[in-house]
Amino acid sequence: MLGLMQDWPLLIHRIIDHAARQHGTREVVSRSVEGPIHRTTYAEVQKRSLKVAQRLARDGIQHGDRVATLAWNTWRHLEAWYGICGTGAIYHTVNPRLFPDQIAWIINHAEDRILLLDLTFVPLVEALAERLPTIERYVILTDAAHMPATKLKNAVAYEDWLAQADGDFRWAELDERTAAGLCYTSGTTGNPKGVLYSHRSNVLHSMALANPDAFNLSSRTAILPVVPLFHANSWSLAFSAPMMGAKLVMPGAKLDGASIYELLETEHCTATAGVPTVWLSLLQYVQNEKKTFSSLEYLLVGGSAAPRALIAAFEAMGINVVHAWGMTEMSPVGSLGAIKESVKDLAPDAILDLKAKQGFAPFGVEMKITNDANEDLPWDGKTFGRLKVAGCSVTSSYFRVDEKVLDDKGFFDTGDVATIDANGYMQITDRAKDVIKSGGEWISSIELENLAVGHPDVAEAAVIGVAHPKWDERPLLVIVPKPGTHPTRESLIAYMTGKIAKWWMPDDVQFVSEIPHTATGKINKLRLRDEFADYKLPEV
């Protein structure tokens, strides 16, 4: 027997409609790409996203078509997302930090028909345009006054394009399983792979993440997502913030410590979200300039492992730091480190250790760790295995790739190696391909990096495995010193001694001015290994 409740499909445009109705005057504040701070409201965003939808329909965009965006976090990008999927088309976020060849490859693979782009990216796209045969029109996210002279096909200023619509448009009626968004993984090996979100998966994911033990959003929150809309579905914040009526503060193109600090303060933000490198630079800024936070209560960090020292530094300023883990394939959040009742009375140091773990899965995500025979491993906080996930917002296959990605039990292999403790807190030990295999045992590169970053003179640390005649691989620690400091190999080894097993100690330390990063802000181990390809460990 079926229930007798209404069939109310979980569609993304219902979120912006709700925000306009219930939180219509709540602000969306952006640092515009043109420079000045721009202010609008959810009521306005909804009206203009209807115009986007109407305008796209007039340009011939149909259900299932892909419309690409190459843009920073601003109100225009937000409107575009809602407008695109409200027509039944698919927003395809392109990460501008990818290599130009990858950008062209992705746009061609997705067969995008229209590209909406920020002024910043006009030169990049002009250089690529010849290789983008599927793009019929370029919409530059600016107004007539700032529109550059460009030969891009059918180029138009977004504001002019939008002015041709009156917003008298009905959202498309769709099955909730209709594709809504497309985001390619950064693809450090091989071609990037497209993850195709549905309306339903995005709505469910955003609902799960709005909760107190997740992003803790409410109509009183003011959140600044430093995480870009083009990185892993913006961790759902483009949906969960309007869903809850939280004020959205969009940083545009300026993501340096000083600019982020300024926006956090002037807009009285209570929450923010971003990757560890962003927080390392914000921390350096506030420490150097002796600044304090007047309204910030909650800081979400994820995308790569957050060093314990980083968490401790923000917690010492009275900010609740929540460490999250996830991946593009998971919409993207898979776990968050709120403090459960069962652990809340632990000593402050133990709480910090726990916060450095990647946390527990919210409703909608099931996780397990397995051995190579796909047998479940115990949740004892020590045994590590392959981390596998299933859930309502986890991918079931990649876009246009004929490859099985789920195991026989319907779980997706994340490629991460992790432990899970008795309280359900998961800890990433490493990427399966980055773990250092020394004498048949595994050494976690992440754990060594997190430890090294606690040294007072270290700005950033990376650990890679280097070939060793006896042990197969041994760890090499690569350090970027803080400006004006000169840490030595000996001081680092002394600092780490006693804090890790003896055999985990890096065999050597190298100092560099910069560590390479991927397009999503992670340490690029592949490139780092290339850079140290000729390096030989010192003979002991």
Nearer to ligand AMP, 277 or 520 (CB): 520
Q: Is the CA virtual torsion 436, 442, 448, 449 positive or negative?
A: positive
Provide the minimum distance between the beta carbon of 288 and ligand AMP in the complex, in angstroms, as a whole number.
26
Q: Sign of dihedral through CA atoms 467, 468, 472, 478?
A: negative
Contacts (CB under 6 A) with ligand AMP, residues 220-239: 232
* DSSP alpha helix (H) spans, 23-167: 42-58, 75-86, 100-110, 122-128, 158-163
Nearer to ligand AMP, 509 or 519 (CB): 519
Q: In the annotation, is 522 catalytic?
A: no
Q: Which residue, 126 or 366, has its beta carbon nearer to ligand AMP?
A: 366
If binding is defined by CB under 6 A, does position 323 make contact with ligand AMP?
yes
In the set 302, 307, 385, 475, which binds ligand AMP (CB under 6 A)? 302
300 makes contact with ligand AMP (CB under 6 A): no
Cα 48 to the center of its chain, rounded Å: 26
186 to 86, 192, 193, 328, 522: CA distances (angstroms) = 27, 6, 8, 9, 10
The single-letter DSSP state of residue 189 is S
Exactly one of 41, 93, 185, 328 is catalytic; which is it? 185
Closer by beta carbon to ligand AMP, 332 or else 364: 332
Minimum CB separation of residue 518 from ligand AMP in Å reads: 8
Pick the closer one to ligand AMP by CB: 416 or 460: 416
The alpha carbon of residue 385 and the mean position of all alpha carbons in its chain are separated, in whole angstroms, by 24
Catalytic hit among 120, 150, 442, 531: 442
Interface pick for ligand AMP out of 142, 304, 331, 524 (rule CB under 6 A)? 304
Supply φ then ψ for residue 359, to 5 degrees: 90, -170
273 binding ligand AMP? (CB under 6 A): no
Rule CB under 6 A: say whether 414 interacts with ligand AMP. Answer: yes
Residue 448 touching ligand AMP (CB under 6 A): no
Total binding residues toward ligand AMP, as defined by CB under 6 A: 21
Annotated catalytic, 403?
no
86 binds ligand AMP (CB under 6 A): no
* Residue 196, φ and ψ in degrees, nearest 5: -110, 105
Member of 86, 88, 274, 332 binding ligand AMP (CB under 6 A)? 332
Q: Is 119 helix (H, G, I), strand (E, B) or coil?
A: helix
- For ligand AMP, the closer of residues 157 and 227 by Cβ is 227
Give yes or no for residue 358 binding ligand AMP (CB under 6 A): yes
- Candidates 93-101, 244-252, 321-329, 393-401: pick the segment binding ligand AMP (CB under 6 A): 321-329
Among 206, 270, 419, 520, binds ligand AMP (CB under 6 A): 520
Q: Which of 30, 102, 185, 233 binds ligand AMP (CB under 6 A)?
A: 185
What's at 354, amino acid-wise?
L
Q: Are 76 and 34 in contact (CB under 8 A)?
A: no
Q: Is 194 helix (H, G, I), strand (E, B) or coil?
A: strand
Buried b (16+ CB within 10 A) or exposed e, 359-394: bbbbebbebbbbeeeeeebebeeeebbbbbbbbbbb
Give yes or no: 437 in active site: yes
* DSSP class per residue in 391-418: ETTS-SS-TT-----B-TTSPEEEEEEE
CA distances from 59 to 76, 135, 389, 510 (A): 18, 12, 40, 55
Among 17, 118, 416, 507, binds ligand AMP (CB under 6 A): 416
362 contributes a contact to ligand AMP by CB under 6 A: no
Residue the block writes with tokens 């993850």: 195
Q: In the sheet that 137-140 helps form, which strands lie side by side, from edge to edge?
A: 156-157, 137-140, 114-117, 66-70, 90-93, 179-184, 194-198
Q: Is residue 83 part of the contact set for ligand AMP (CB under 6 A)?
A: no
Q: Is 329 a catalytic residue?
A: yes
Q: Which stretch binds ligand AMP (CB under 6 A): 39-47, 297-305, 372-380, 463-471?
A: 297-305
Under DSSP, the state recorded for 387 is: E
- The residue written with tokens 């070939």 in the block is 467
Contact with ligand AMP (CB under 6 A): which of 340, 431, 489, 529? 431
**Nearest distance, CB of residue 522 and ligand AMP, angstroms:** 6
Out of 328, 429, 438, 524, point to the residue binding ligand AMP (CB under 6 A). Answer: 328
Q: C-alpha angle with apex 70: 98 to 139, nearest 5 degrees?
A: 145
Give catalytic residue positions: 185, 329, 437, 442
| Residue ranges binding ligand AMP (CB under 6 A) | 185-186, 232, 302-305, 323-328, 332, 358, 414-416, 428, 431, 520
